[in-house]
Amino acid sequence: MENSQCTVVDAQAAFTTAREKALIEAAQSGDKQAYHQIYDAYVGRVHALSYRLTGDHALAEDATQEVFIQLWRKLGNYNHKSKFSTWLHSVTANITVSYMRKQRGWFQRMFNIEGSAAEQFHAEASTGEVDLESYIVRLPERARMVFVLHAVEGYRHEEIASMLNMAVGSSKAQFHRAKQLLKEWMGYDND
């Protein structure tokens, strides 16, 4: 994995704005080679965001594939008014959230932090085997999605509410819930 991350970093470093624009325009015209270069440059970022949103490596892999399938279809919608990475970030978040909705039944069973899952989490935490990413992954689905989109990715609650089809107040409540759970799990609930 480390070698592939270096390759992604190298690909992104060589991806200048002019080169990026030329590749995007070529890909918009159907050039699969140009699209492959875009894929190489951005797959790491897309996967990282998908993982933070889903909390599951297999789901993130599937969501990443879905993003790039949809990207091929939606690339014509990109109009160069914003940075491509910003546009792709928004596309990734929307597609990943949509993909997760389709997986809801499995996802709710997998990441319910009640009962034995909570006991397993506390056992891991007591041995020091859990890092922040592990805490975030264990958040309930809606709280995790809002937390990642707001705290990590910088979206406003109004944007999150629109993306997740919820009220702005619900987004704020889910963010507060995520913060409270993280504080509790990390031992900072002494306020």
pTM equals 0.58
Q: Are residues 99 and 121 in the same domain?
A: no
Amino acid 95: pLDDT:
87
CA 96 to chain centre: 7
Residue 12, token pair as written in the block: 């992104």
Q: Are residues 100 and 33 in the same domain?
A: yes
Q: 141-173, pLDDT tens digit by residue?
A: 889 989 888 887 778 899 899 888 899 999 999
Decide if 46 contacts 67 (C-beta within 8 A): yes
With 60 as the cut, is the pLDDT of residue 78 above it? Answer: yes
Q: Are residues 29 and 121 in the same domain?
A: no
Gap between the Cα atoms of 105 and 28, Å rounded: 36
- End position of a domain, from candidates 106, 135, 163: 106
Amino acid 154: pLDDT:
79
Q: Are residues 129 and 170 in the same domain?
A: yes
Structural domain contains residue 191: no
- Supply the CATH number for residue 143's domain: 1.10.10.10
b/e 117-130 (16+ beta carbons within 10 angstroms → b)? eeeebeeebeeeeb
Q: Are residues 18 and 89 in the same domain?
A: yes
Gap between the Cα atoms of 176 and 147, Å rounded: 9
Q: Are residues 119 and 49 in the same domain?
A: no
Q: Are residues 98 and 12 in the same domain?
A: yes
Residue 44, token pair as written in the block: 């790491």
Decide if 74 contacts 91 (C-beta within 8 A): yes
Decide if 3 contacts 44 (C-beta within 8 A): no
Amino acid 66: pLDDT:
92
Q: What is the mean pLDDT of residues 101-110?
A: 50
Structural domain contains residue 116: yes
The residue range of the domain holding 13 is 2-106
Q: Are residues 137 and 67 in the same domain?
A: no
Neighbours of 181 (CB within 10 A): 20
Gap between the Cα atoms of 147 and 160, Å rounded: 10
What is the gyration radius of the CA atoms in the chain, in angstroms? 18
- SS3 sequence of 122-181: HHHHHCCCCCHHHHHHCCCHHHHHHHHHHHHCCCCHHHHHHHHCCCHHHHHHHHHHHHHH
Residue carrying the six token digits 């995790």: 144
Q: 5-59, pLDDT tens digit by residue?
A: 455 555 554 556 788 889 999 999 999 999 999 999 999 999 999 998 888 888 8
Structural domain contains residue 190: no
- End position of a domain, from candidates 81, 106, 131: 106
**Domains of the chain: total:** 2
- Supply the CATH number for residue 70's domain: 1.10.1740.10
Residue 103, token pair as written in the block: 């997986």
